[in-house]
Chains A and B, each alone.
Chain A
Amino acid sequence: MLGVPMLTVEGLTVALPPGGDRAHAVEEVSFRLDPGEILCIVGESGSGKSVSASAIMGLLPRALKPVAGRIGFEGKDLLLEGPAAMRALRGARLGMIFQEPMTALNPLMRVGDQVAEVMQVHGRAVGNRVAELLDAVHLPDPTRILASYPHRLSGGQRQRVMIAMALALEPAVLIADEPTTALDVTTQMQILRLIREVQQRRGMGVLFITHDFGVVAEVADRVAVMQRGRIVEQGAAAQVLRAPTHPYTQALVAAVPHGRHAGRAVVAGEPVLALEGVGKTYGGRGLFRRTAPVQAVADAAFVIRRGETLGLVGESGSGKSTLARCVVGLVQADAGTIRFHGDDLRPLSRRAWLPYRKRVQMVFQDPFASLNPRRRVGDIIAEGPMAHGVSRAEARARVAELLRVVQLDPGAADRFPHEFSGGQRQRVGIARALAMEPELLVADEPVSALDVSVQAEILALLEDLRARLGLTMLFITHDLRVAAQVCDRVAVMQRGRIVEQGTVAEVFERPQHAYTRALLDSVPGREWAGSSVSPDVLA
């Protein structure tokens, strides 16, 4: 859209405090935002995309100082405006939506009062606006919701309230910093549609910050790609997504889980793991307290055959992680059987589990939390076998070999976890599991905390290990694209129950259950992923 841009950022450079890994958080960043368009800024963690947004809002942390450039908005340079002038602009002319809806609302204030407050601090009459706004963001029963406290609302509903607050004074520009990252896919899709809808209805300019190319494909008119503080490519969404010119953009687009199945032969080995009627209910009795029981997993049943990868897919709270923890004995299931090569693992005591510990291993979700920060990587990898009677010398000797298997330098053994990046830590976590030479590997969201390019590397590593070591895998993920890529069969979980299972082709092409269909419809950028490559399971 031509015309006068609403917001122009020219040569913005923000200095990092000395001693960081680079001199500037963002360097020479220039872009413009036209009325009625959505500009997506895409980048991996640390690329400076959030710093750019904070600079526009005048919300930079005190340690970060803008040193050059100009942010033009309604004839003013926002970098030169004082705090009072910025306060008057924020909320009124510049709206912002944050990433974490769970913490962005004051838990002690009624929702309606919080929305009204936005108008009151800018001296506007509130009147009936709050209910109108809540209605505009499609919250059901606005009169009930404005009288309730935030804890009564779900994550998606809270994000809608945040959007209502941002829209309250009809700002010219809305800045959305990863507004859907903390949400489940089905909720994410609803919020994306809502943002698109209000933007079109009011002709706002939206600056949308995200790390997910699927989301970009879903909402963006134009895209700016950031790498290490610089914009490396900028252009119309269709062009950047389908024909990226910069090598970094090309690598990022290629790393997006494509949802295409590798097309492996169907495995028909003997069952390694067979679950039947597994259930787990939390809560209940202590000596001095009593809580309402919550059924986390109910009547779960599946079979994994040798060499096969079963994906366990579901949204947060669906019970997929609890089920995985039941399989490795971190959580004791209270119903059903968990047969590993025919032996029921469920009733086993801590001691009786020991012989199976070598054969069933787990890779955890968060590479920053899953390694003890005070132990060296070599010790972390060696301690598993040592706990099972392998001598210290022998265990240490294998560490170098394992590090090579996960493509890390053998010198890594003498360093501490904080010296590594997220992807490298996840490799250490995999090496720790492999040190036990397991038959069954349970991977609980092993890539969900990683940037997209690192995610692709770890998935490739897991695939390579699976083929070389003949691993059987239970792969837990919330990302259908990832599941389609790495799994042979998938089981879809909803509210503690497996609602559908089958081969990837069956489930993704001919979903039987309504929930599976809803999940598939919510995969962001589905059409883009589908049309940019040959027809595939997600098409």
Chain B
Amino acid sequence: MSTPAWLAVDRLSLTEGGTRIIDGVSLQLGAQRTVVLGPNGAGKSTLLRLIHNLLHPSSGELRWARVLSQAMVFQRPVMLRTTALANVIYGLKLKGFTATESARRAQQALLRVGLEQLAKRPARLLSGGEQQRVALARAWALEPELLILDEPSASLDPASTREVERTINAIAASGTRILMTTHNLGQARRLAEEIVFIDGGCIAEQTPVAEFFQSPRTSAAKRFLEEETP
């Protein structure tokens, strides 16, 4: 880790209906781009939601170095039944910007993701890839210090996936921390600085990306990479 931790997760647990979904997770997040990997049902999405405050832990706590402004993008883009521009404006208005200021920032955000042509189109009529980029624009317009993404390109084709990755890179380049999960190992390789490998609700290992893919430390990770790689 090159930078001091911006978040210390301390023995975080979440039990629901008798099952321990997250089991005493402790870790220090300090990288600028962290990708969480793990088999299905390991608890990746749950961990992200706990960090984003969408879920409340049964025990344990999150210790922030300082509280960061956050935004989240989900696997399926949630678009309101209005134009792409209005969708981006919505988030800005919620933050307290005036109508004119919101419109200006929204236009800028769409420009940055390359969708300024589609600003006035009904968001729900756009392709999956375009909608996801609108979601990214919406998040980016809020200038979050931490952007959380839950399998952002899982439902997209390769071309759209590349566009989404390009946008994530741009957002990271502008200084935002990235915390995401994915099933796409190539994507993890391309985007991550650090891999957090989670298995059965516990952290199995936390390794810089190159090392993780070449020689993972745990047997669980080894097995995972073998199974996932075609």
Is chain B found bound to chain A in the same assembly?
Answer: no
